[in-house]
Structure 1
Amino acid sequence: MYFAALLARTEDGWEASDTELDDVETLSDLTDLAHEASVDEDTVLVFIEQEDAWFGLVRVEGEDDPRIFVSDASAAARSSYGEILTKELLGGESDDDADDLDSLDLDGTEEGEPASADDDEEEEHSVSAESVPPGPAGDREILADLGMPVRELLALESDALGEIADALGAAEVLETVR
C-alpha cells in the first residue's frame, strides 16, 4: 500500500495535500502533479512511501529538473511507483530503447542470429529490479537547505515521512492528510 502527499511551500509555511497516483505513469506525470500544487513556482515536495519498505522524495522548483531521492533503490525498483523514480536515477531506458529491445532474443542476440559460445559464458547484464543496488539513491542533499542534513536523511527508518515533515516544520499539515 502506498501513501503519497504533496507539500507545497508558501509564504505562510507549508500546505499539504494527499494525492492519488492512479494516473501517474512517468516522472513527468509526477512533476505535473507537483506543478499543479505549486504556489508561485515555489518548492513542492512529493512524498511517496510504501509500507515502511522504502520512501521517495521528488523536489520540484519552477522549471528546474526535479531532484529525486529514494531510501532503498532495490526495494523501490520492485514497485510500480518506485520503478519510475529508480529508472530516472539509474538512467533507465526510454520508450524508444524499449522498442529496440523488442527485436532482441532473450539472450541478447538479434532474432535469427546464432548465439556464440562466448555469450553463454558472459554474465548477463540486465536492468531488472534484481540488478539495482540496495540502499539510498539520488540527491542526498535534497532537503539539506530545508532543515534536514544528509546524515539525518540517511538514518531514517520507520515513519520517515513524519520525521522529514517534522524537520521541515510541516508535521501538523502532513498529519492532516494522513
Structure 2
Amino acid sequence: MTSGRVTVYFAALLARTEDGWEASDTELDDVETLSDLTDLAREAAVEDDTVLVLIEQEDAWFGVVRLDGEEDPRIYVSDAAAAARSSYGEILLTDELLGREPGDDVVADLDSLDLDGTEDGEPEEDDADDEDVVAPTGEAVPSGPIGDREVLADLGVNEKELLALNSTDAVNEIADFLGAAEVLETVR
C-alpha cells in the first residue's frame, strides 16, 4: 500500500465593498494563467474596487494577488521555490515577478550566475531544500518571498507583518487583519 500526502489548497476572493468585504471561494481548476485569474477576480469586483485573491498550499506557501480596477495585478508569494512546485503557484510566478524578460532564454548569462560563492575548496552550506527548484522554463526559482511586499500595506498589513505570516494559516491571518475573518469563514 502506497501512502501519499494529499496536497491541500485553499483559494478565496475578497472583494471590498462600501459595506466591508465580501468573500467567495474560488475553484482554480479552470485557471491556467495569471490572465485567467485576474479575469475571475475582476468578475467579483464591486464597481472596480479592490479584489484580493488569496491562495495557500497547506504548510508550504501562500500568495496574494491584488487587483484595483483596471490596474495590473500586484502579486506577493511567500516562498517562490515552494510555489514553483505547485501548478497553482506557477500561475503567480510570472516572468516579471521573477525578474526575467518575457521570452528570455533558459541559458543565463554567466556573469549573472553565482557559481560557487565560497573560497577554493571550502564546502557550501547545505541548501538541499533550496536547490534544484526549477521553473517549467528550466530556470532556477529563488527560495523565499518574492513580489510586492507592500501589496496589503494600505489595508493594514505592513511588510513586516506580511513577511511574518505563517504559511499554515496565512489566509486566515490576512482576513483577520482586514476585518474579513467572519466573511472568509463562510466560504472556508
TM-score, normalised relative to structure 2: 0.75
Q: Distance in 1 between matches of 2:99 and 2:148?
A: 14
Is 1:146 paired with 2:155? Answer: yes
In the other structure, the counterpart of 1:119 is none
Alignment check: 8 A CA contact 1:87 1:93 kept: no
**Unmatched tracts of structure 2, length 5 or more:** 1-7, 108-114, 116-131
Choose the corresponding residue for 1:11, options 14, 18, 39. Answer: 18
Matches within 5 A, 1:130-145: 131-145=140-154
Alignment check: 8 A CA contact 1:5 1:47 kept: yes
Alignment check: 8 A CA contact 2:76 2:145 kept: yes
In the other structure, the counterpart of 2:119 is none
**Same amino acid, percent of matched pairs:** 76
Q: Distance in 1 between matches of 2:98 and 2:70?
A: 22
Larger Rg: 1
Aligned length: 153
Further displaced range: 60-69 or 80-89: 80-89
Structure 1 stretches of 4+ with a deviation exceeding 4 A read: 91-94
Q: Secondary structure at the match of 1:23?
A: coil
Q: Distance in 2 between matches of 1:37 and 1:92?
A: 30
Q: Deviations over 1:109-133 (max 9, x none)?
A: xxxxxxxxxxxxxx7xx99247211
Is 1:128 paired with 2:137? Answer: no
In the other structure, the counterpart of 2:180 is 170
CA RMSD of aligned residues (A): 2.1
Q: Secondary structure at the match of 1:14?
A: strand
Alignment check: 8 A CA contact 2:31 2:37 kept: yes
Q: Deviations over 1:135-174 (max 9, x none)?
A: 1000000000001111010001131111110000000001
Alignment check: 8 A CA contact 2:84 2:133 kept: no
Is 1:90 paired with 2:98? Answer: yes
In the other structure, the counterpart of 1:159 is 169
Q: Distance in 1 between matches of 2:59 and 2:100?
A: 25
Choose the corresponding residue for 2:52, options 45, 49, 61. Answer: 45
